Amino acid sequence: MVDLQGPWTPLLGRLTLQEIPFDSPIVFGAFAFAATLAVIIIGLLTYYRGWGILWRDWLTSVDHKRIGIMYLIVGGVLLFRGFIDAVMMRTQQVMAAGPASPGYLGAEHGYLPPYHYDQVYGSHGTIMLIFAATPILAGFMNYLLPLQIGARDMAFPYLNSVALWMTAVGAGLVMLSLFVGDFSQAGWVGLTPLTEMSYSPDVGVDYWAWALEIGSIGTTLGAVNIIATIIKMRAPGMTWFRLPLFTWTALTTNVIGLTAFPVLGVALGLLLLDRYIGTHFFTTGFGGNFMLYTDLFWIWGHPEVYFIILPAWGMMSEIIPTFSEKPLFGYTVMVAATLSIGCISWTVWLHHFFTMGAGPIVNVFYSISTMLVSIPTGVKVFNWAFTMFRGRLTFTTPMLWAVSAIFMQLIGGLTGMMLAIPAINYMTHNTVFVIAHFHCVAMVTIFASVAGITFWFPKATGFKLDEASGQLVFWLFMAGTFTVFTAMFGLGFDGMPRRLAYIPYASWRPLMIVEEFGILLYCGSIAAFIYQIVVSVRNRAHNLVDVDAWGTTRSLEWMTHSPVPAYNFAVIPHVNARDEWAWRRDNGLADMLPEHYEDIEVPLNTPVPMFLGIATAGFGFAMVWRIWWLAAVSLAAVFIIIIIRSFGGTTGTVIPADAVRRTEQASRRKRRQNADNVLGDGVMAFAVKPRA
């Protein structure tokens, strides 16, 4: 029904050997790098006999903590990939400025032909927002939420695992597009009608759309799970206004996710119908309306921005009080600000296309609603400032990242307020000024996530990350950020358009050299981060921590052991105050132990979510390449797996009270030894000495 403009066979669909780009040295280099990494990982796993552990403790696990860590790993890997894309783009632009700039590797200017460059910027955006930031935040939420509200697990542990696998399949499809076929060259927003079959006949757009569709199923299922967990699984005494702020932001963000992602699903679904059966939703003829796509996409797209930033604010609201040794200033107002930002997020989407002829009345409405966002956001910034005011500040690495995130918030937010004025927007639309603006906002998420990683790392592993190299990572990253984006704001004021593979004006080159220098600082920061991990793991014996890794923490997750046992809390705590752990510590109750233990029910491991993931991956791949038989088989497999499991027997098991007692005593004994070993070094973490 659709003109494929190319060969198609029933067995392999559109897939041919020519689709594997042997001839591109860049792709081949990437493939060699990925293959080497895979060989090293497989070798290490085999050498350390890790396959059983990988299967038992990770791939089949339904434990929210392990799922959270797996989300973080998926997000981290994709973050690296997205960063490489950024390096490639910056390098291309600095090399391809001005008519005299030389060309290499078959490109007229720079080293990437436009077709390849367009795929790089499309995948950079798609990956960073959907497959890096979203999984990283989902990882934090999975790991922390049950701990913060005093639960043993999520409301639906099995569904949690399914959601993880859907996200991983989406990410996998994006990665696969690098080696088999092409990725979309229509930008991460999928500009219609460029994404239509007649203008993008190759599989790039299909990869992009199916990856997003499948990934967003994962996000939606995750949102159901997290909202149900917060509503239903709170410990006794954990009233709504005692919830830690991160939990509040997670709730808000997932309400956004639950309501926004289906709209993306529809926008992409209609686009795929256009591409697969030849309907006319967003085409240029036969009554298609491509502004409909733009609206539907941004009805999801703008809430998605807040989906990404709200948990970041939540983490900042946990970290800043901890290192100010004060409760969060204006807790109730913070909650109100979080919820109101969640509401406003639905009413601002049109500000992404003020220039597309909606008319002054409509533009003014969206201009004002956009400006309204600044009120609750400003409230948040002031509240963090007042939290620090007259606090006992300790500038550890997490605190440095969190405080810098406030600065990024100010820069990103204030330039956002400039863009909210349609008159200014007409001048800056599609310039790199906009790019610099939203990267500063996205940096809030990056900064807060690194802060969060450093802050909660000891909770997950039992030891802290190395402080000195952590500071190095921070300062390099900070310097890189300011170098790149200050220059980019300047280029934006000069009117440089975004998404250019070739820059006609050589006069823009000096500032782009500055940006490239900033990128080098970023590379240094990444190298320092890898060094930090290596050093921290090697010296972990010197950085072991007690339950309360920082000595001044406030919420429930710091009450249980580090690393957290499978059952989270030996006995569920009864919550008496907001910042329960700080309240217990300040009232001398931190060492109080429960009198008796009981049997604990935990869910059994299951490989079913992984099987669902494999079947879904088969479906996605088959649809991209139009291999109809494989698509039908995979989809049938998904349904059959779900139905078979619904007939299954027990899904839970019991940890006997005796075992719980033994684990508790063993970890207390170990902790005491550690404390005796290390206390002499004056490690702050042991300021609270456990009494056992």
Partner 1 sequence: MSTTSGHGQGSDPSKAVLWAESDHEHDIISTRLLGFWLYMLSDSLIFAALFTAYEVLTYNTSIAGGPTPAEVASPIRAYIETIVLLTSVLAFGLSMIALKRDRPRMVMAWMAVSALIGIGFLGMEWTELAGLAARGSTPQRSGYLSIFFTLIAVHGIHIAIGLLWMGVMLAQVARSGLTALVVYRMANLKIFWLYQALIWTFVFTFVYLRGSV
Considering only residues 634-653, where is the footprint of partner 1 by CB under 8 A? 639, 643, 646-647
Q: Check residue 231 for interaction with partner 1 (CB under 8 A).
A: yes
- The yes or no reply on residue 278 touching partner 1 (CB under 8 A) is yes
Give the one residue of 288, 412, 492, 609 binding partner 1; rule: CB under 8 A. 288
Q: Does 571 bind partner 1 (CB under 8 A)?
A: yes
Among 52, 287, 357, 360, which residue sits at the site for partner 1 (rule: CB under 8 A)?
287
Q: CB of 686 within 8 A of CB of 675?
A: yes
Distance CA 588, CA 605 (A): 39
242 binds partner 1 (CB under 8 A): yes
Span interacting with partner 1, options 60-68, 88-96, 228-236, 674-682, rule CB under 8 A: 228-236
Token look-up 């199916």 returns: 210
If binding is defined by CB under 8 A, does position 279 make contact with partner 1? yes
391: left (phi over 0), alpha (psi -120 to 50) or beta: beta
Interface with partner 1 in residues 444-503 (CB under 8 A): none
d(CA 204, CA 210): 10
By beta-carbon proximity to partner 1, the closer residue of 144 and 238 is: 238
Nearer to partner 1, 60 or 289 (CB): 289
Of the ranges 194-202, 257-265, 475-483, 676-684, which one interacts with partner 1 (CB under 8 A)?
A: 257-265
230 burial class (0-12, 13-18, 19+ CB within 10 angstroms)?
Answer: buried
- 284 lies in the site for partner 1, by CB under 8 A: no
CB closer to partner 1, 591 vs 676: 591
**Listed residue (259, 331, 267) closest to 294, CA to CA:** 267
| CA quadruple 661, 573, 157, 566: dihedral sign | negative
Rounded CA separation 572/312 (Å): 27
CB of 13 to partner 1, least distance (A): 21
Task: Provide the 10 A C-beta neighbour count for residue 427.
Answer: 14
Asked if 236 touches partner 1 (CB under 8 A), the answer is yes
Closest approach, Cβ 185 to partner 1, in A, equals 25
To partner 1, the closest distance from the beta carbon of 573 in angstroms equals 6
CB of 569 to partner 1, least distance (A): 9
Q: Which residue number, 253 or 445, has a Cβ lying nearer to partner 1? A: 253
- Among 34, 73, 87, 258, which residue interacts with partner 1 (rule: CB under 8 A)? 258
265 binds partner 1 (CB under 8 A): yes
Q: Which stretch binds partner 1 (CB under 8 A): 33-41, 141-149, 260-268, 502-510?
A: 260-268
Q: Does 171 bind partner 1 (CB under 8 A)?
A: no
What is the SS3 assignment for 223?
helix
DSSP 21: -
Q: How far is CA 388 from its chain centroid?
A: 27
Q: Least distance (Å) from partner 1 to the CB of residue 94?
A: 41
- Please, which of residues 373-402 interact with partner 1 by CB under 8 A? 391-392
Q: Which of 108, 591, 598, 658 binds partner 1 (CB under 8 A)?
A: 598
Contact by Cβ (8 Å): 148, 244: yes
* Nearest to 204, CA basis, from 134, 277, 115: 115
Residues 6+ apart with CB under 8 A from 203: 14, 19, 177, 181, 182, 624, 625
How many residues touch partner 1 under the rule CB under 8 A: the total is 76
224 counts as binding partner 1 under rule CB under 8 A = yes
- Exactly one of 98, 280, 424, 486 binds partner 1 (CB under 8 A); which one? 280
- Smaller CB separation from partner 1, 552 or 605: 552
Is 601 a binder of partner 1 (CB under 8 A)?
Answer: yes
Q: Which two tokens stand for residue 88?
A: 């490639």
Contact 478, 404 (CB under 8 A): yes
- Selected binder of partner 1 within 37, 105, 418, 592 (CB under 8 A): 592
- The token pair at 458 is 């000891």
Torsion angle of the four alpha carbons 675, 319, 307, 128, in this order, in degrees rounded to the nearest 10:
-70
Considering only CA atoms, give the Rg of the chain. Answer: 26
Return the residue of 250, 267, 472, 627 that touches partner 1, per CB under 8 A. Answer: 267
Residue 183 interacting with partner 1 (CB under 8 A): no
What is the DSSP annotation of 143-175?
A: HHHHHHTT-SS-S-HHHHHHHHHHHHHHHHHHH
Instruction: For residue 594, state whether it binds partner 1 (rule: CB under 8 A).
Output: yes
The torsion angles phi and psi of 436, rounded to 5 degrees, stand at -60, -40
Per DSSP, the three-state class of 101 is coil
Decide: is 656 part of the binding site for partner 1 (CB under 8 A). no
Which of 25, 33, 232, 539 is in the footprint of partner 1 by CB under 8 A? 232
